[in-house]
Structure 1
Amino acid sequence: MTRCRLCGSAALGSVVDLGATPPCESFLAVDQLDKPEPAYPLHLRVCTDCWLAQIPPLITPEETFSEYAYFSSFSTSWVEHARTFVADAAERVGLGPDAFVVEVASNDGYLLKHVVDRGIRCLGIEPSVNVGAAARDAGVPTLTEFLSPDTGSAVRAEHGPADLVVANNVYAHIPDVVGFTEGLRALVADDGWVSIEVQHLLTLIEENQYDTIYHEHFQYYTVASAIRALASGGLALVDVELLPTHGGSIRLWARPAEVADEPSSRVADVLAREKAAGLQELSGYTEFSARVDKVRRDLLKFLIEAAERGEKVVGYGAPGKGNTLLNHCGIRPDLLAYTVDRNPYKHGRYTPGTRIPILPPEQIAVDKPDYVLVLPWNLRDELIEQLSFVHDWGGRLVFPIPELSVVEAGVVKEVTA
């Protein structure tokens, strides 16, 4: 990468280099285990002109999302998050019976089904064929396309302008930031609203969330860089909310620049926090790489010592972030016997690069392992409750991030390794 994809600057500074890994959602079938597996550099840099953090676009969205292994509805807390958002957005934006809502990257309809339940006209735009088919089966109208300015204009011409455009957990997934933002502007009514949720670079840095760096995520936003990105397509930020999802996200409320009010005081507050954390100067990023190295050393030390004691460790979940962690740490089945996942699409497959088997969740109760390494740590509270049965045989839960901790039975005491 030689230039920033947002502003074109050549002033790119290194944040962290995670080596080379396979694409995080390229789970392997049995007949692929003896075949070559491509790996790509995973090096996060930040533009010191517009402060957009980014990785090189070494894989295309078409390679990742034409058939996708992630189905949002398998996370109970995420479905509830979507339901609450729809209820709040309907009140905020004033969505009546004649309103029209479009969600970009609508996945399996986990969010728009709540819009359908309210009797509000809606459309999902989802590039993954298999996931979009699941949404249609659930009664959510879904168009199988990637968003571009042309797609946005075509949808507007056929269905009319959208009163609300939702883009949750997709603004990081597109290498053409400007074209995607222009697509959002093409979809939204001239007096409409755009709501975007994306991981906050501030919490990524502060909480050592380096495993959320993977090839699907082409960029990582502060509010400062998001303002610049939105403006590139004719949108203006008017409000921001700080969310706990994905370890710490921002919900950006934007409107067409022509009708946007002055930004709320919350925007100024978050911008001040980002500046105080040093995220508008390169020195604010320099310690991150050393803290990443410590996460790796601590986890490997724990797994090696458990193996030497003859204790069994298995994983819970097979999220994309987990594959960044497993590959960066070099964890193989000798240290993590297998992992489990609620998504049946992944059963019988293997994690990319590390080739750890993925089994149904019921296997944990059968084997009664000593430790369960929780890879989707962002669902910590949900999974501590969901996996409480592990304590019945004296098993313990292990969370690798922000620092290694072991959760034991009883009062759920955390023991830092």
Structure 2
Amino acid sequence: MTPCRLCGSASLVSVVDLGATPPCERFLTEAQLEEPEVTYPLHLRVCTGCRLAQIPPLITPEETFTEYAYFSSYSTSWVEHARTFVHGAVERLGLGSGSFVVEVASNDGYLLRHVADLGIRCLGVEPSENVGRAARQAGVPTWTAFLDPATGASVRAGHGPADLVVANNVYAHVPDVTGFTRGLRALVADDGWVSIEVQYLPTLMAGNQYDTIYHEHFQYYTVDSARAALASGGLRLVDVERLPTHGGSIRLWARPEESAGEPGERVAALLAEEKAAGLHELSGYAEFGARVARVRRDLLAFLLDAARQGRTVAGYGAPGKGNTLLNHCGIRPDLLPFTVDRNPYKHGRFTPGTRIPILPPERLAEERPDYVLVLPWNLREELVGQLSYVHDWGGRLVFPIPELEIVEVNP
């Protein structure tokens, strides 16, 4: 067994075993349907030493992120979330025209464009060549690179230290947690701030959100384990916010050790909640596997019953998390003939492992399925509005997580 990537302990305990799946963003072309697919174990364990929940680092970030299928700007609610964060951070930190903001894993510029609109100098550090190219075409300065201490030092040498470093939905994606954190420290000014958004493990478990366990996510954080990870690279956690994004996330505010001061009350409050839930030991992880099995059984029972009754089902969305769900449940085109997605990059491709065709959104109205299985369930509020037209033919939406729910939509 691979030792803990944060503390090196060999004592890791199973939380849930999801079998073996292909990497979740490795969407297939039609030609690739005739080729073999490599699958990798997807087994979440927790370290009994530092309590970092993690999967083995069986694929490298280079394999996943050099060419990437996810473009953040296709989610209207996510762009608005970024805009709200930028304006709040500018006010909180007193940023202005003389400030410098760096975002790590800046994707297609969905966040930094709001920084640029305020006249604040900014730079994205984005590892995916195709996504970074889209950001530059949109006018957001972007450097194509993976963050490590050397990259952080190079950016600092060329552009100066950052008053704010943003790392949203990337801290789970790096197998070298300490090296990445040292890269953040190299970027940020000695009196600057680092803001990190990452999915919150207690919420993931409480909401049965096991589909967010996939090979891109190497670890899953509590406030306790995030505090330890930040400290390994010279940063101290000083504040934390709970967020509704991705089914439940936290925003970590950290500063360099020498200027951080003591953590605030919200850090202490969440640490106390985690301890009471048994997540600083092992008892809090014991029942998660059984709840995951129930989600799988309920979804399969629904799809099988629909097929027996001659009812049609189509999917909405082709997110990475959906591929964990589809593969774990063994769902193939006989039960889900196609799914649709707003991202043109995915059109004409097929989901990894399950090989379900991905089509443009217009196909829903053409095919008029009885049920639409919503795979990006975390965007529920946004998608219920977008999919209101399903009511025109009496269709209903199906949300598989946190538990199976069939929803009537209003016009």
Q: TM-score range by the shorter chain?
A: over 0.9
Partner Cα separation in structure 2 for residue 202 and residue 319 of structure 1: 22
Partner Cα separation in structure 2 for residue 48 and residue 398 of structure 1: 38
Identity %, equivalent residues: 79
Aligned equivalent of 1:328 = 328
Structure 1, residues 62-121: CA drift from partner, whole Å, max 9, x if none? 000000000000000000000000000001111111100000000000000001101110
Partner Cα separation in structure 2 for residue 348 and residue 8 of structure 1: 43
Shift in Å, 1:49? 1.1
Partner Cα separation in structure 2 for residue 409 and residue 137 of structure 1: 38
Aligned equivalent of 1:85 = 85
> Is the alpha carbon distance of 1:270 and 1:335 closer, same or farther for their aligned partners in structure 2, counting shifts above 3 Å?
same
Structure 1, residues 348-401: CA drift from partner, whole Å, max 9, x if none? 000000000000001001111000000000001111111011011110000000
Partner Cα separation in structure 1 for residue 32 and residue 2 of structure 2: 34
Aligned equivalent of 1:124 = 124
Q: Secondary structure at the match of 2:34?
A: coil
Shift in Å, 1:274? 1.0
Partner Cα separation in structure 1 for residue 297 and residue 350 of structure 2: 24
Moved over 6 A (4+): none
Aligned equivalent of 2:137 = 137
Aligned equivalent of 2:199 = 199
Q: Secondary structure at the match of 2:389?
A: helix
Partner Cα separation in structure 1 for residue 283 and residue 262 of structure 2: 31
Partner Cα separation in structure 2 for residue 232 and residue 16 of structure 1: 27
Tell whether 2:366 aligns with 1:366.
yes
Q: Secondary structure at the match of 1:5?
A: coil
Partner Cα separation in structure 2 for residue 393 and residue 305 of structure 1: 20
Shift in Å, 1:43? 0.2
Residue identity in the other structure for 2:207: E
Aligned equivalent of 1:253 = 253
Q: Secondary structure at the match of 2:259?
A: coil
Q: TM-score, normalised by structure 1?
A: 0.98
Shift in Å, 1:2? 2.9
Structure 1, residues 299-325: CA drift from partner, whole Å, max 9, x if none? 000000000000100000000000000
Aligned equivalent of 1:109 = 109
State whether residues 103 and 166 of structure 2, in contact with CA within 8 Å, keep that contact through their aligned partners in structure 1.
yes
Q: Secondary structure at the match of 1:56?
A: coil
Shift in Å, 1:262? 1.1
Aligned equivalent of 1:161 = 161
State whether residues 397 and 409 of structure 2, in contact with CA within 8 Å, keep that contact through their aligned partners in structure 1.
no
Aligned equivalent of 1:151 = 151
Partner Cα separation in structure 2 for residue 300 and residue 281 of structure 1: 33
State whether residues 149 and 180 of structure 2, in contact with CA within 8 Å, keep that contact through their aligned partners in structure 1.
yes
Q: TM-score, normalised by structure 2?
A: 0.99
Residue identity in the other structure for 1:118: L
Aligned equivalent of 2:230 = 230
Shift in Å, 1:276? 1.5
Aligned equivalent of 2:396 = 396
Partner Cα separation in structure 2 for residue 7 and residue 39 of structure 1: 27
Aligned equivalent of 1:32 = 32
Structure 1, residues 164-218: CA drift from partner, whole Å, max 9, x if none? 0000000000000000000000000000000000000010110000000000000
Aligned equivalent of 1:385 = 385
Partner Cα separation in structure 2 for residue 377 and residue 55 of structure 1: 23
Aligned equivalent of 1:5 = 5
Partner Cα separation in structure 1 for residue 172 and residue 72 of structure 2: 17
Partner Cα separation in structure 2 for residue 281 and residue 223 of structure 1: 14
Q: Secondary structure at the match of 2:401?
A: coil
State whether residues 384 and 409 of structure 2, in contact with CA within 8 Å, keep that contact through their aligned partners in structure 1.
no
Structure 1, residues 138-185: CA drift from partner, whole Å, max 9, x if none? 000000000000000011011000000000000000000000000000
Partner Cα separation in structure 1 for residue 113 and residue 383 of structure 2: 24
Aligned equivalent of 2:270 = 270
Aligned equivalent of 2:181 = 181
State whether residues 201 and 220 of structure 2, in contact with CA within 8 Å, keep that contact through their aligned partners in structure 1.
yes
Q: Secondary structure at the match of 1:33?
A: helix
Structure 1, residues 249-284: CA drift from partner, whole Å, max 9, x if none? 000000001011211111111111111111111121
The 10-residue stretch of structure 1 (244-253 or 388-397) with the greater mean CA deviation from structure 2:
388-397
Aligned equivalent of 1:415 = none
Structure 1, residues 317-357: CA drift from partner, whole Å, max 9, x if none? 00000000000000000000100000000000000000000
Partner Cα separation in structure 2 for residue 301 and residue 237 of structure 1: 44
The count of corresponding residues between Structure 1 and Structure 2 is 411
Aligned equivalent of 2:354 = 354
> Is the alpha carbon distance of 1:277 and 1:159 closer, same or farther for their aligned partners in structure 2, counting shifts above 3 Å?
same
Tell whether 2:57 aligns with 1:57.
yes
Q: Which runs of 5+ in 2 are unaligned?
A: none
Shift in Å, 1:409? 3.6
Residue identity in the other structure for 2:288: F
State whether residues 107 and 126 of structure 2, in contact with CA within 8 Å, keep that contact through their aligned partners in structure 1.
yes
State whether residues 98 and 121 of structure 2, in contact with CA within 8 Å, keep that contact through their aligned partners in structure 1.
yes
> Is the alpha carbon distance of 1:409 and 1:2 closer, same or farther for their aligned partners in structure 2, counting shifts above 3 Å?
closer
**How large is the RMSD of aligned CA atoms in angstroms?**
0.8
